[in-house]
Amino acid sequence: MTDVLRRGRASLAFSFLAQGVAFALLVTRIPAVQDRYGVSDALLPVFLAAVPVLAGIGSVTTEQLVKRVRPSVVLRWSQPVVLLALLGVGAGEGMAELAVSLAAFGLAVGALDASMNMLGVSLQRSYGRSIMLSFHAAYSLGGIVGASLAWVGAHWHLALWVSYLPVAAVLLPAVLVGSRWYVDAGPAEPGAEGAVGEGGALVFKLLLPLCLVMAFAYIGDSTVSNWSAKYLQDVLGSSEQLATVPYNVYMVTTLLGRAIGDFGVRRFGAVAVVRGGAVVAAAGFAVVAVAPGPWVGMLGFTLLGLGLCVLVPQTFAAAGRLFPGASDAAIARLNIFNYVGFLVGSPLVGALGDAWSYRGAMLVPMVLVLLTLVYARSFARQPDRYGGGHERPRTADVGRGSNGL
């Protein structure tokens, strides 16, 4: 069973990495997509907002799907759809084709994100120790690879389909082969479903603190991804070239933080790691807000990467501990707030920046991240609901091939 779990962990980590590559290739080439299809500045926000909205629908749908099929089946078939939809974005000719490709991408991403984290939480339960951050570290590494490939495509003025086709050609068969080793959760232990109330109302009430933390974390993340370059150039007076650096620094520090984060959870506990991450992230926003120049601003974005990186993986893990008998449903609902934060963050900072100042706007995600401290107790380990050993044979089930239900 140890070998089964190790193969399951490796195959799932590769799935996270592939998703990081695909998502970065899309979001970092938005200007090229806009130019290819002639999308106006007024229409572009509609297209961009549609993706997370549809992803939320995909996540809700996944909650219902996993009542009938295993999460590994949802992941096995949603990931190829994401890659094919990415290729469709690059190869389409008209606005209708772009709309269809983005719609397919959004729906499939919602299913993919939910099912990946469902499998990650169940594997962590089987291991009996923190491994969730390692999966998200693989996603961060994929994001760095995808952003680097996008830079190459932009630098050499490659057509979108030329940039996307090799990635899809390599990753699509690889994820299908890797899906043979996904590991699903087995039946819940007796009494494990005690956190589920009648009609699911109690579940959401208990889940709400984690939902808020998820939204706060993604408001912070979207602030960095959407505004770091503009902030450094327009507010702190950097060059255009230097303005591209903060997001790369943020991505690298996110990877480093997640790569070592599981050791911190094992040593100090999830509550301490989440509190520490929130404080470091808030300090990062504060440094960015008061920075006298671009290099101090860069330090702030570095702190943001180290602080924010632990919040999302630990939020998913906490949902699995809180609802061991209904973790799939809890994660699917929690995942919706990923997209809520993404939708709220960028417009919120932009509106505050225009109406007030961009320095002042950075204080809003700072305060929201600090509110995570209020909900930190929700991340506490539940000893009676969480495995204590490395191997838990009764909680793991091996995916049975591409048609295993």
Write the pLDDT tens digit of every residue in 81-118.
Answer: 999 999 999 999 999 999 999 999 999 999 999 999 99
How many other C-beta atoms are found inside a 10 Å radius of the C-beta of residue 394? 11
**194 versus 36: which is more confidently predicted?**
36
Flag whether pLDDT at 394 surpasses 60.
no
For Cα atoms 152, 154, 157, give the angle at the middle one, nearest 5 degrees. Answer: 105
Q: Give the pLDDT confidence score for residue 151 in this predicted structure.
A: 85
Q: Give the pLDDT confidence score for residue 2 in this predicted structure.
A: 84
User: Mean pLDDT in the chain?
Assistant: 88
Distance CA 192, CA 214 (A): 24
Flag whether pLDDT at 230 surpasses 90.
no
**pLDDT tens digits, one per residue of 45-59:** 888 889 999 999 999
Flag whether pLDDT at 401 surpasses 70.
no
Tokens matching residue 285: 């926003």
Q: Give the pLDDT confidence score for residue 375 in this predicted structure.
A: 95
**pLDDT tens digits, one per residue of 271-324:** 999 999 999 999 999 999 999 999 999 999 999 999 999 999 999 999 999 888
Domain 1-186 has CATH 1.20.990.10: no
Same fold, 1-186 and 193-384: yes
Distance CA 12, CA 18 (A): 10
CATH class of 193-384: mainly alpha
Q: Give the pLDDT confidence score for residue 274 in this predicted structure.
A: 97
Predicted confidence band of residue 203 (pLDDT cuts 50, 70, 90): low
Return the CA Rg of the chain. Answer: 20
Flag whether pLDDT at 133 surpasses 90.
yes
Task: Please say whether the beta carbons of 323 and 196 come within 8 A.
Answer: yes
Predicted confidence band of residue 382 (pLDDT cuts 50, 70, 90): low
In the chain, where the domains are located: 1-186, 193-384
Flag whether pLDDT at 198 surpasses 80.
no
**pLDDT tens digits, one per residue of 348-376:** 998 999 899 999 999 999 999 999 999 99
**pLDDT tens digits, one per residue of 139-161:** 999 999 998 898 888 889 899 99
Flag whether pLDDT at 266 surpasses 50.
yes
Q: What is the pTM of this model?
A: 0.89
Predicted confidence band of residue 200 (pLDDT cuts 50, 70, 90): very low
Q: Give the pLDDT confidence score for residue 331 in this predicted structure.
A: 95
Q: Give the pLDDT confidence score for residue 396 in this predicted structure.
A: 47
What percentage of the chain carries pLDDT values higher than 70?
Answer: 89
Predicted confidence band of residue 404 (pLDDT cuts 50, 70, 90): very low
